[in-house]
Amino acid sequence: MASSTAAEAPTSGESFKSLFGQRLEPYLALSKSAKGAGCVQLIKDALAAPGVMVFGELLDMPNVAELKSNPEHARYHRLLEIFSFGTYQDYQQSKDSLPEITEAQRTKLQQLSIVTLSERVRAIPYKDLQEYLEIANVRQLEDLIMDAIYQNVINANLDQKLKLVEVHSAMGRDLRPGQAQVMLKVLEDWTKTSEALLQALSVKMTQVRENYDKEKQAKEAFEKELEKIKKDNASAGSGKHRMLGGGGPHMMDYEMGDQHMFQSPEFMSEVERMSHGGGASKRNGKRVPHRG
């Protein structure tokens, strides 16, 4: 994989635009006095100048704006518009009514078109760029992209294995007519959606807090009742034992001190007599004679 990034990479589109705006300043100064054919030549020079990549301010200069109403020079005004916010495809679609551009101008417009394309997709396949820019071979495309990287037009990597360009950031271009209103509408919609989402989250958080408080109260009440039951059971079981003898009338309660009667010699003797005497005779159905 071949990887390349710009040598001095600004961190935002506005930083890119500020950098290129400084390079446009000499042409802005000259446009204040240039008129007609002189203004046309100024446009040609600016479009071909290395490192000059933004043209919106030049387009707004009064003497340049006058060219739009001049039938002879209006096409140069339109060409400047395309370099300001258009693409190479825009030029190709109207090239019959526009001035012919030099190879340097063509390269610049193709690089600016990459910036516009990167607004929609950051990882751009080579084949899409070749079609978009009408470039026949990969080597020519890579040279174009590398030059754009070194000029800080884009901050990108070339993935030669996957045949795509990964654009991390790009210079800021001038807005198309009406684009500012579209962006404002998008921001307004985003603001409304965000406010609705925040309101829904606030309602949900309130419900969560209420449910938490209810569950906490129920848990505390349950623990208190459980503790009460434990204490009542402990109190009822102290001092007495309950023995169940089949239920009903056979149930007997007795004090702990009464157990000695079951351990007396008379009781044990009677149990032994019944086991070997009376009990056995009853089972055999015979009377055992009494021995004196």
Decide: 7 and 148 in contact? Cβ < 8 Å: no
Which of the residue ranges 94-98, 123-127, 240-244 would you say has the lowest mean pLDDT?
A: 240-244
Rounded mean pLDDT, 119-132: 93
Q: Is the pLDDT of residue 219 over 60?
A: yes
Ramachandran category for residue 178: left, alpha or beta (phi over 0 → left; psi -120 to 50 → alpha): left
Q: Is the pLDDT of residue 239 over 60?
A: no
Apex 209 CA angle, 206 and 213, nearest 5: 140
- Proportion of the chain above pLDDT 90, given as a percent: 50
Q: Is 16 helix (H, G, I), strand (E, B) or coil?
A: helix
Q: Is the pLDDT of residue 292 over 50?
A: no
Residue 266 has what pLDDT?
65
Q: Is the pLDDT of residue 44 over 60?
A: yes
Average pLDDT, the chain: 80
Give the span between the Cα atoms of 68 and 81, in whole angstroms: 10
Residue 277 has what pLDDT?
56
Decide: 158 and 144 in contact? Cβ < 8 Å: no
Rounded mean pLDDT, 242-264: 49
**86 pairs with which residues across the strands?**
none
Residue 6 has what pLDDT?
40
Apex 156 CA angle, 151 and 158, nearest 5: 110
Residue 9 has what pLDDT?
46
Q: Is the pLDDT of residue 5 over 50?
A: no
Helix (H) or strand (E) run with residue 155 in it:
strand 154-159
Rounded mean pLDDT, 257-284: 56
pLDDT, tens digit, 9 for 90 and up, residues 79-114: 999 999 999 999 999 999 999 999 999 999 999 999
Helix axes of 74-85 and 37-48: crossing angle, nearest 10 degrees: 30
3 state SS for 45-84: HHHHCCCCCCCHHHHHCHHHHHHHHCCCCHHHHHHHHHHH
Backbone angles phi, psi at 169, to 5 degrees: -160, 165
Rounded mean pLDDT, 161-186: 82
Decide: 109 and 91 in contact? Cβ < 8 Å: yes
pLDDT band at 53 (very low <50, low <70, confident <90, very high): very high
DSSP state of 263: G
Rounded mean pLDDT, 174-184: 70
Give the span between the Cα atoms of 24 and 4, in whole angstroms: 27
pLDDT band at 180 (very low <50, low <70, confident <90, very high): low
Decide: 65 and 34 in contact? Cβ < 8 Å: no
> What amino acid occupies position 121?
V
